[in-house]
Amino acid sequence: MKRLFALLAALATVLGLTAAFSSPAVAATGCKVDYTVTSQWTGGFQAGVKITNLGAPVNGWTLAFTMPESGQKVTQGWNATWSQSGSAVTVVGVDWNRSLATGGSADVGFTGTFTGANPKPTAFTLNGVACTGSTGEEPPPGPDPVDGTPVEVNGQLHVCGVNLCNQYNRPVQLRGMSTHGIQWFDACYNTASLDALANDWKSDLLRISMYVQEDGYETDPAGFTNRVNRLVDMAEARGMYALIDFHTLTPGDPNYNLERSKTFFASVAARNAGKKNVIYEITNEPNGVSWSGIKNYAEQVIPVVRAADPDAVVIVGTRGWSSLGVSDGSNESEVVNNPVNASNIMYAFHFYAASHKDTYRATLSRAASRLPLFVTEFGTVSATGGGALDRSSTTAWLDLLDQLKISYANWTYSDADESSAAFRPGTCAGSDYSSSGVLTESGALLKSRISTADSFPTS
């Protein structure tokens, strides 16, 4: 089953806080607000608010709007500091989204209560300027959508600066799902399930989670290597990227598995070197080990991959269960100041939304300006893999990843008897992997996010 993170209680007061900015806010010269009620129930609702700056860049923003006279009250908000006085609502940007370039946007949201009807709020302003959706000049049209599968459009991926980039040297975000341990849930990964993932979920990638211990690779190296390769082929046939995860967890020091890792990656890299859809994750969640120990491991394994497959992206796990050290009381500075000596690499970041909140989001936001990051695993629930879905924290996380163009894979595309699973128990004995009847709360939320249209740039 899933790991226990070192739980940090990153508690933040969502309502009624005052934000401090490094420089004063300036007036916006044009803005647009898209307000959407994403779900509604008796006496309550959830809404998303997308703020787009159409004018000059701003560093520090405040959105204001008026609730209709029908008893609407903000109860909890995310991705900003929310407060309400009477019918007037004030929303202040936080550290990771306070700067809005021309054309830049911030996605925030809240849950609320209401009585009677639930009409749309009015009088949206950004830094005191009415959001009319225009600056008086029509913005240039966006690029036309490009037909094709994710791999057909983007081709061989590589790292450029702090971004994952496609064959056109443009930053892209991949969104997808992770398998559970293939030694336990092999029945979940078949023709029907991968067809559903590619065509109904419209996933960009499949993370193939191959545990090393826990009845995994060490028990049958050849058998597990062959199973990983077959899943790579199945992803390729459907135009999805395949993220090969060497799922080290217990023991947490990846050096324990150094020789196994070299053997495995020499084999899969040689076999898959001609493919454009393969990404290598060389260690899953290092724990109980220093960053220097992880770095030493990476600098021995990456040359093995490169010897056979010189062009593929390689992802390195980070300290504290791939939390950039946050779960060990550290932060991203240890990686920034002592990066792995290799090119075309990224660093893994993992979170579980009910356990890891503002402190983790702030770390990710800071690190994203210095390091190429890939969220190779996250959950919508607690770090145990169980407990209730934390919808507001998950939404805040996904909005942030979208904003920063950080790719992600959700744990898990399986019917495990735990709330992090996308499917209800028993689903993998059938052939339906998409309808509401087989999806858990977590699965329904992830499918709705992943299946939205990609915007892969080609020029």
Active site residue 285: yes
Which of these, 263, 177, 179, 254, lies nearest to 213 by C-alpha position? 254
- As a whole number of Å, the end-to-end CA separation of the chain is 43
State the Cα–Cα distance between residues 331 and 364, nearest whole angstrom: 9
Instruction: Write out pLDDT tens, residues 174-231.
Output: 999 999 999 999 999 999 999 999 999 999 999 999 999 999 999 999 999 999 999 9
pLDDT of residue 157: 98
pLDDT of residue 134: 58
366 three-class SS = helix
Q: Which two tokens stand for residue 189?
A: 């990964």
State the Cα–Cα distance between residues 280 and 317, nearest whole angstrom: 11
400, pLDDT greater than 80: yes
Helix (H) or strand (E) holding 13: none
Give the pLDDT mean for 405-417: 97
Q: Which two tokens stand for residue 125?
A: 């302003």
Burial of residue 441, with CB atoms counted within 10 A of its CB: 0-12 exposed, 13-18 middle, 19 or more buried? middle
pLDDT of residue 123: 86
Helix (H) or strand (E) holding 427: none
Buried-exposed string 49-61: b where 16+ CB fall within 10 A, e elsewhere: bebbbbbeebebb
pLDDT of residue 29: 62
375 versus 59: the higher-pLDDT residue is 375
337 three-class SS = helix
Which of these, 345, 356, 421, lies nearest to 179 by C-alpha position? 421
- Based on its alpha-carbon atoms, the radius of gyration of the chain, rounded to whole angstroms, reads 22
Instruction: Write out pLDDT tens, residues 161-185.
Output: 999 999 999 999 999 999 999 999 9
Instruction: Write out pLDDT tens, residues 11-55.
Output: 333 333 333 333 334 445 678 898 888 767 777 777 888 888 888
pLDDT of residue 128: 86
pLDDT of residue 22: 37
pLDDT of residue 322: 98
70 pLDDT tier (thresholds 50, 70, 90):
low
Q: Which two tokens stand for residue 46?
A: 């959830």
Contact (CB, 8 A) for 317 and 285: yes
pTM of this prediction? 0.74
Which of these, 212, 231, 19, 171, lies nearest to 108 by C-alpha position? 19
Q: Hey, what domains does the chain have and what are their CATH numbers? A: 31-130 (2.60.40.290), 150-450 (3.20.20.80)
Give the active site residue among 236, 281, 334, 377: 377
Burial of residue 161, with CB atoms counted within 10 A of its CB: 0-12 exposed, 13-18 middle, 19 or more buried? exposed
144 pLDDT tier (thresholds 50, 70, 90):
low
Other beta carbons less than 10 A from residue 98's beta carbon: 19
109 three-class SS = strand
Which of these, 296, 279, 356, 348, lies nearest to 319 by C-alpha position? 348
Helices assigned H by DSSP within 346-417: 358-367, 391-404
For residue 29, cis peptide bond before it (omega within 30 degrees of 0): no
User: Lowest-confidence range among 7-16, 32-41, 92-101, 138-147?
Assistant: 7-16
Q: What percent of the chain has pLDDT over 70?
A: 90
State the Cα–Cα distance between residues 177 and 163, nearest whole angstrom: 20
Give the active site residue among 285, 332, 334, 418: 285
13 versus 373: the higher-pLDDT residue is 373
Give the pLDDT mean for 308-331: 97
pLDDT of residue 57: 85
